Amino acid sequence: MVRKMIIEGLPVVPEANAALEGELSSALDTGDEFFREVSTHLLRAGGKRLRPALVLLCAQAGPSGPAGGAVAMQLAVACEILHTATLVHDDILDGAVVRRGQPTVSALWGERVAILCGDYLFSRALTMVAELGHSDVSVRLGQVMQRVCEAEIRQIVRAFDPNSSEAEYFDIVRRKSALLIAECCRSGALLAGADEAIGEALFLYGERMGIAFQIADDILDIEACTDEVGKPTGKDVALGVLTLPVIRALTGSDELRTLICRRLSREGDARRAIEIVRASDGIEYARRVAGEYVLGAVRALDGLPPGEPRESLAAAAHFAVHRSR
Amino acid sequence: MVRKMIIEGLPVVPEANAALEGELSSALDTGDEFFREVSTHLLRAGGKRLRPALVLLCAQAGPSGPAGGAVAMQLAVACEILHTATLVHDDILDGAVVRRGQPTVSALWGERVAILCGDYLFSRALTMVAELGHSDVSVRLGQVMQRVCEAEIRQIVRAFDPNSSEAEYFDIVRRKSALLIAECCRSGALLAGADEAIGEALFLYGERMGIAFQIADDILDIEACTDEVGKPTGKDVALGVLTLPVIRALTGSDELRTLICRRLSREGDARRAIEIVRASDGIEYARRVAGEYVLGAVRALDGLPPGEPRESLAAAAHFAVHRSR
């Protein structure tokens, strides 16, 4: 009954993920003393473990059942490590000092170590995927990581551009966040022997829920207090990353446009920008759009037989937007 | 006759690598405008192309002949991209502004872009390896990249430690430089259908030549003028990376020990340290050791039939230490 526990565990019961945590821990303990220390720190900081939970759930859509458990678990662990690698590098890009309520790797050990730790986690994850012996999965995950890098670069290039469009926002979010989640779902199912149509349906599910998940994250960045999300709020705005609530608010506020055009360079600009977005219908609008993506994700599950894992996946999609961190 | 041309091209005729350069260029042109610009810059800066040359040469040790040409070329290109990824990140770690006579990615576009470009190249390379459909090669190259990261971290942790031993130096050099070269050789041969014994011999060849190559690099860092190597000399010493000539010089110079203990923190310390190493027998000693590794590399070729590629590989091993950049 790992399945139920993990999805139920997403918002509230992290200790239910004991099996996953154990596997994560041993996957990262490759004998190097220094990396063991960093890994222990990263694992202690926890996380929602959304991607491995989705891999394990989607693996139940295939016929291999318990026999495929070890394969699904290895993919699940690899996907979480891959995601962690991107977070470690993201925190350098963002100059972040706190993540999941803990100091970041770059804050604790410096940027040079953080670059190398990201590379190390990245290599470790892709090695684990390769060990599964399905080159197609390795190819697809490698391609996803290319799309992630492209999106991150795009985000840097387009920072503080008040003409950023919703279309661009969705393109970046899709590549930056949704594709990895989509690929976790598809590969989890295919490695468990599910047919291509199920794989495609789950890819679509993951893509849509991934977009919803990222929109929810972007809302939290504007709306929540620092304590709730485990990292400083308003971070995206400060970096000039224009998220959906901001793009929406921009359509009705010349003042916000002016602030962003001058790259929030004056004292109080960032605070004022957040105030404007909060007072606009940006958050409400973004929440509505996220809700539509959740419905789209649930609709993508139509091709699956009723029961498990369909029910848990639908619940996970709703969780993606109804969470406080 | 690609084979001969490439190895002869290593020291003197870069234009002979036209086929390889064309493949590199198209491999990096994945449609993203920004990465195309960065890739063009990286390719224009050139390089020795040692790793792809070794892949192509070692592929001739297998029976698949011209039929395996496309596979060998794809692996060759992937290995060069993998190596380039490590250089892009290395240049951030080292704060380097010049590489191969050109501004580094971090100097031109900033650290954030350089981190992402390294990640992108890394993903691209491992995707290309995965496309070959041999998971064992993907696993081994992924593991090599883990060893590279471990060695780089070790180098940071052990910086300015005057008690660094030769054994530690060789352990770091093996992981940081030699394993990738060794794996290029082995995988090139195995993908061309060579038997395991040939693969092992070529791995050993590559490992030894890789160590010789790195020692030669370390000698150049101390000995050459900036113009010759395309990057500032004395860089390793300044960063506290104690290479073989320095470790050797330390055994006979209390002054050098004092300088390193205080982390070359005073005006003129770095220049003086280089002077001491140059005046010691450190360079001569390192050159002798490198020569022994070259002989060991050539000896590892004993298991191969006479003729090609054995002759060219032996020539490449000698080139590894007799070069001016």
Measure the CA–CA gap between A172 and A310, rounded to whole angstroms. Answer: 28
**B90/A contact by beta carbon, under 8 A:** no
CA gap B279, B192 in Å, rounded = 48
Q: Is B120 on the interface with A (CB under 8 A)?
A: yes
**Tens of pLDDT, residues A34-61:** 888 898 898 888 788 999 999 999 999 9
* Beta-carbon separation of A130 and B153 below 8 A: no
Q: Are B148 and B179 in contact (CB under 8 A)?
A: yes
- Distance, CA of B209 to CA of B229 (rounded, Å): 20
Q: Please report where in the chains the tokens 């290395």 appear, as a residue.
A: B90
Whether B26 and chain A come into contact, CB under 8 Å, resolves to no
Please indicate whether, in this complex, the C-beta atoms of B134 and A131 are within 8 angstroms of each other: no
Q: Is the pLDDT of residue B2 over 60?
A: no
B134: pLDDT strictly greater than 90: yes
User: A69-110: per-residue pLDDT in tens?
Assistant: 899 999 999 999 999 999 999 999 888 888 878 899 999 999
d(CA A181, CA A83): 10
Look at B119 and A30 and tell me if their CB atoms are within 8 Å: no
Contacts 24+ apart (CB under 8 A), B27-30: B27/B77, B27/B78, B27/B81, B27/B124, B27/B128, B28/B81, B28/B121, B28/B124, B30/A146, B30/B124
- Pair B2, B56: CB distance under 8 Å: yes
Cross-chain Cβ contact A92/B113 below 8 Å = no
Q: How far apart are CA A324 and CA A309, in angstroms?
A: 24
Contact flag A142-B133 (C-beta cutoff 8 Å): no
| Among A4-13, A149-158, B226-235, the range of highest mean pLDDT | A149-158
Question: Which among A35, A134, A145 is the nearest to B123, CB-wise?
Answer: A145
Task: Kindly list the residues from chain A whose CB atom is less than 8 angstroms away from the CB atom of residue B118.
Answer: 115, 119
pLDDT value at position A98? 86
pLDDT for residue B13: 35
- ipTM exceeds 0.85: yes
CB B213 within 8 A of CB B184: no
pLDDT of residue B250: 96
Chain A nearest-CA residue for B88: A115
Looking at chain B, the whole-number percentage of residues with pLDDT higher than 90 is 70
Q: pLDDT at position A95, please?
A: 85
Surface of B (27-86) touching A: CB under 8 A? 30, 32, 34-35
Give the tens place of pLDDT for each residue, A289-301.
Answer: 999 999 999 999 9
pTM: 0.91
Match 């504007």 to its residue by tokens: A222
The string over B295-325, giving b where at least 16 C-beta atoms fall within 10 Å of a residue's C-beta and e elsewhere, is ebbbebbeebeeeebbebbbbbbbbbbebee
Under an 8 A CB cutoff, do A135 and B132 touch?
Answer: yes
* Pairwise CA distance, residues A128 & A122, whole Å: 10
Report yes or no: B57 and B3 within 8 Å, Cβ to Cβ. yes
Give me the total of CB pairs closer than 8 Å, taking one residue from chain A and one from chain B: 137
DSSP string, A153-186: HHHHHTTT-TT--HHHHHHHHIIIIIHHHHHHHH
Query: What's the mean pLDDT in A278-295?
Result: 96
Confirm or reject contact between A124 and chain B (CB < 8 A): yes
Buried b (16+ CB within 10 A) or exposed e, B125-146: bbbbbbbbebbebbbbbbbbbb
In Å, how far from its chain's centre is CA A308?
24
Tokens linked to A52: 């491995």
Q: How far is A112 from chain B (nearest CA, A)?
A: 5
3-state helix, strand, coil in chain A (%, to 5): 75, 0, 25
Quick one: fold of B2-321? Farnesyl Diphosphate Synthase (1.10.600)
pLDDT at B269 exceeding the cut of 70: yes
3-state secondary structure of B103: strand
Per-residue pLDDT at A1: 38
- The verdict on A126 touching B (C-beta cutoff 8 Å) is yes
Interface contact B153-A35, CB threshold 8 A: yes
CA geometry: angle A304, A75, B90, nearest 5 deg: 135
Which has more confidence, A223 or A143?
A: A143
With CA atoms as reference, the chain B residue closest to A147 would be B120
pLDDT tops 70 at residue A227: no
Closest in A115, A118, A135 to B130, CB measured: A135
Among the partner-chain residues A34, A138, A146, the one whose CB lies closest to the CB of B120 is A146
Distance of CA B46 to the CA centre of its chain: 14
Whether residue B123 lies within 8 A of chain A, CB to CB, comes out as: yes
Q: Does residue B9 register a pLDDT over 70? A: no
Under 8 Å between Cβ of A218 and A86: no
B279's tokens: 């005046």
* Residue showing tokens 């000539």: B245
In this prediction, what percent of chain A has a pLDDT beyond 90? Answer: 69
Report the pLDDT averaged over residues B114-131: 96
Q: What is the pLDDT of residue A283?
A: 96
B156: nearest CB among A112, A152, A156? A112
In this predicted structure, what is the pLDDT of residue A15?
A: 40
Summarised one tens digit per residue, pLDDT across range A109-139 is: 999 999 999 999 999 999 999 999 999 999 9
Q: Higher-confidence residue: B226 or A68?
A: A68
Shortest distance between the Cα of A241 and any Cα of chain B, in A, equals 14
Report chain B residues whose CB lies below 8 A from the CB of A30: 146
DSSP of A2-60: HHHHHHHHTTS-GGGGHHHHHHHHHHH-SS-HHHHHHHHHHHHT----HHHHHHHHHHT
Task: Tell whether B130 lies on the interface with A, counting CB pairs under 8 A.
Answer: yes
Whether the per-residue pLDDT at A242 is higher than 90: the answer is yes
pLDDT at B142 over 60: yes
Q: Which of A208, A223, A224, A219 is nearest to A170 (CA)?
A: A208
- Residues with Cβ < 8 Å from B163, sequence gap 6 or more? none
Nearest-CA distance B315 → chain A (Å): 32
Give, as one character, the DSSP assignment of residue A86: H
Where in chain A are the domains?
2-321
- Interface check for B159 against chain A (CB to CB < 8 A): the answer is no
Contact A130 B139 (CB under 8 A): yes
* CB atoms inside a 10 Å sphere around CB A13: 11
Tokens 């001491």, located at residue: B276
Distance from CA of B51 to the nearest CA of A (A): 19
Q: Is the pLDDT of residue B233 over 50?
A: yes
Site from A74, A138, A183 to mutate, B interface, most B CB atoms within 10 angstroms: A138
Residue-wise pLDDT for B20-68, tens only, equals: 999 999 999 878 888 888 988 988 887 889 999 999 999 999 887 656 6
What does the mean pLDDT of chain A come to?
89
**Nearest beta carbon to residue A123 from set B30, B146, B154:** B146
Both tokens of B189, joined, read 């041969």
The span from the CA of B109 to the CA of B90, in Å, is 15
Residue B125 has pLDDT above 60, yes or no: yes
